[in-house]
Amino acid sequence: MSKFIIDIEDDVGDYEAINALLDVIALGRIFKNNTMYCHHTEIYNGINVTAIERTKNGKSDKFIIHLNKPKKK
């Protein structure tokens, strides 16, 4: 059984966040020899999904869903 930890930031709506996450999951594990979801994916409307490596997070996959913001200078 898979476990997912989902951290939604920057006031991204739940519906938009889950849809963005589903887009990433649909692509499958394509990073690090097909063992990890794509590390950073920009979806649409500035929504980004960042996947955290399992080794850093135990047995669950963690995703951070956030907006693409300009870097502060």
pLDDT per residue as tens, the chain (73 positions): 678 899 999 999 999 999 999 999 898 888 777 778 888 888 878 899 999 877 666 778 899 999 986 555 5
Say if pTM beats, i.e. exceeds, 0.75.
yes
d(CA 46, CA 48): 6
Which pLDDT score is estimated for 55? 63
Q: What count of Cα atoms within 13 Å lies in the side-chain half-sphere of residue 56? A: 7
Identify the sign of the CA torsion 21, 60, 11, 71: negative
